[in-house]
Chain A
Amino acid sequence: MSVTDLTGTATESAPASRVEELPMAKALNAGLRQALADDPKVLLMGEDIGRLGGVFRVTEGLQAEFGTDRVVDTPLAESGIIGTAIGLALRGYRPVCEIQFDGFIYPGFDQITSQLAKLTNRGSGAFSMPVVIRVPYGGHIGAVEHHQESPETYFAHTAGLRVVSPSTPNDAYWMIQEAIASNDPVMFFEPKSRYWPKGPVDFAGTAAPLHASRVVRTGTDVTLLAHGAMVSVLMAAAEIAAEEGVSAEVVDLRSLSPIDYGPIIDSVTKTGRLVVAQEAPGFVSLGSEIAATVSERAFYSLQAPVLRVSGFDTPFPPAKLETLYLPDADRVMEAVDRVMAH
């Protein structure tokens, strides 16, 4: 898979370049608007997404623009949202479901894992399931229970689903459109703590492949790997490392299933060290999977064990403890120090 560097494309595609500084929430809104405009079969459905524009305002203004048939305020039942989206997809529509918060996805779990993920296989490929499920996820927002979780591993474990998570506004704008264009079901995890910081969105640029991982900072001593909100934590850690004389390369995973191992193996082959970071608990997690695979594929390049930096194997704690639970740059550096000791 090819890799497009954001800062590179912004300048390279100069003639048509149209770059705006936007927060991720607005970039997603623009991406959804574009998808609705491009294909009359696309429709959005979820709780409070119409008149209110969603609790994070990601769908703000879209119902007024596209009507109540295409931006649907659904009854408050996640299994019902996913289950009816499946029926709409069977009829030829491309539903984009919003799950209001990460911890509210479980009432829809059966429809996602037993139906959405399996129907195309059950039907021997006679029909597709082009359904996107948007899930605001992760911590850092000081919210109550069920509002700060990282459940992406459950879905990465389920065959039939594709799972992605953007870390920047530009990726959010492009990846949501790619996810909607995919004929497979896509779990689209939005790092809600990154909804508000602004970043460049190149509306005239080109989309990196949906399932490509990407080197976002080059370095030579250690590879730091994460997805979603944790990418910005790794960038901060890499700055600290540089001050301490350690050159860290940062890889943004972007796609959690399938995983694009090419850039990861290339990076580890160069640096010999890998630290994988995530907000989710570490036990049986994406970090575990990546550590195992890198050990298989780059064993002779590794100079230290692959380390995981993650949330603890506890329920997400009350918000006053979240800064202790969520890995920050210092926790990442603790692991960097350990791999650099080898």
Chain B
Amino acid sequence: MADTIIANPTAGPATETTVQFLTPEGEFAPSESAEEYASYLDRLSHDDLQQFYRHMAVVRRFDHEGTNLQRQGQMALWVPSHGQEAAQVGSAFAAKPQDHIFPSYREHAVAHVRGIDLLSIVELLRGNTHGGWDPTDPANGNFHGYCLVIGSHTLHATGYAMGMQRDGVVGTGDDSVDAAVLAYFGDGSTSQGDVSEAFVFSASAQSPNVFFLQNNHWAISVPVSVQSRIPLYLRSRGFGVPSVQIDGNDVLASFAVTAKHLDEARAGNGPQFIEALTYRIGAHTSSDDPSKYQDQALYDYWVARDPIVRFETYLRSLGEGDAFFAAIAEEADDYAADIRHRTLALTPPPASIMFDHVYSEPHPVMQEQKLWLERYEASFEGDQA
């Protein structure tokens, strides 16, 4: 099986060009390609490292609770993030408060880092809302809405960054002002025209974009080798967008590389592309069955490269003890219990939300149909339930 993995250039394990600080065994042994990023780790305190672990562990526990709640009928669908925590947490920590994030729909850990109440994701997947959080609320960390049409939002991210350029918040040299946009998407998305157009437009505008691809190796059931015959990080170079491939299960690589390329984007050096090699442990969503398409050897290969286990080993090598990990496990359980409690307390949304925000300004058809529905429903009042 190992030969097959290596023969498939897009599904391969880290190569010498892949940026990696932590080996799968949790040993700090930077690859040669990691050297130019090493100084970015100097920005991290021990508390930051603890926070990396904390976010990864809490969101994995949340993700399992999401699957459980879906299986128990509380949601029609769950979108698991298991396995991709390092790619998400490291890159999310690299973003500054003034940066904006355009996620796809699996970025639960990024959402958590940016301050989103993850119950919102439950509400979305439960069918209470198409959105769930207000990206204009400062409490939500400039984390924009999930986007279910894959790749579409890479263009929104590009336009947003073009707006930052016009606002004069790029390349000023002031660290508290300069801003960039970080957009997440997956390997399947890279086949969408919108992603190529986002490369074209951002390269044309030299907009402050960092495109962060989580190559989790699967687009539901189709392997990444169907999407591309070359490693995906090479894809953007033909558009004039510099790129790098990282070990996406190494949270330190994810942080350092994203930090550097966000700096480049904020400084006015144009769009950047990062491919994080990671793996979707489990299903695309709760609606599919990975046992029908996933190879056991490949699965085992990636389970052995679990991002959280790896980072725990590293933290222990730095002297972190059982008490810390026990405390985080307890926090994660509490978080999941709170999500469960609040999920069970959710009530259906009022019918008015169908009509109230279709337009920003008054619209006669919305007003008429909302009123019609109210009267129609009222006509049953007094009937036997």
Contact = CB atoms under 8 A, between A and B. Distances in A.
Interface string B195-238: 00110110010000000000000000000000000000000000
A111 B162 CA distance: 17
B359 interface: yes
A208 B154 CA distance: 38
A75 B156 contact: no
A182 interface: yes
Contact of A124 (B129, B193, B201, B361): B129
Nearest to A118: B130
A87 B360 contact: no
A75 B200 contact: yes
Contact of A114 (B149, B158, B167): B149
Given A87-B161, A91-B159, A93-B163, A125 B360 contact: yes
Interface string A102-119: 000001001100110011
Contacts of A89: 159
Q: Which of B131, B164, B365 has the most CB of A within 10 A?
A: B131
A127 B135 contact: yes
Nearest to A1: B364
B131 A123 contact: yes
Contacts of A118: 130
Nearest to B137: A126
Interface in B158-193: 158-167, 193
A162 B364 CA distance: 12
B150 to A, nearest CB: 11
A75 B363 CA distance: 34
Contact of A83 (B129, B144, B158): B158
B357 interface: yes
A80 B129 contact: no
Interface residues of A, number: 45
A121 B131 CA distance: 8
Nearest to A261: B364
A69 B205 CA distance: 10
Interface size class of B (residues with CB under 8 A): 35 or more
A269 B357 CA distance: 34
Interface string B349-373: 0000100111111011100000000
A324 interface: no
B357 A80 contact: no
Contact of A93 (B152, B166, B197): B166
Interface in A7-54: 43
B361 A127 contact: no
Contacts of B164: 91
Contacts of A95: 159
A159 B165 CA distance: 32
A179 to B, nearest CB: 12
Contacts of B358: 120-121, 159-160
B146 to A, nearest CB: 9
A91 B361 contact: no
B45 interface: no
B158 A183 contact: no
Given A80-B197, A111-B155, A258 B365 contact: yes
Nearest to A162: B359
A303 B365 CA distance: 28
Contacts of A110: 149, 152, 194
Contacts of B161: 87
A32 B151 CA distance: 32
Contacts of B160: 87-88, 90-91
A120 B134 CA distance: 11
Nearest to A262: B364
A322 interface: no
B201 A77 contact: yes
B361 A121 contact: no
Of all A-B residue pairs in the complex, the 10 with the closest CB atoms, nearest first, are A87-B159, A83-B155, A91-B163, A84-B159, A125-B357, A80-B197, A87-B160, A183-B360, A128-B360, A87-B156
Given A77-B200, A90-B144, 10 more contacts: A75-B197, A75-B204, A80-B194, A80-B198, A87-B156, A87-B163, A88-B159, A88-B162, A91-B164, A115-B147
20 contacts: A69-B166, A79-B197, A80-B155, A83-B154, A84-B159, A84-B162, A87-B159, A87-B162, A88-B159, A91-B159, A91-B167, A95-B159, A115-B156, A118-B130, A124-B353, A125-B360, A127-B135, A128-B360, A184-B359, A184-B361
Interface of B: 129-131, 134-137, 144-145, 147, 149, 152, 154-167, 193-194, 197-198, 200-201, 204, 353, 356-361, 363-365
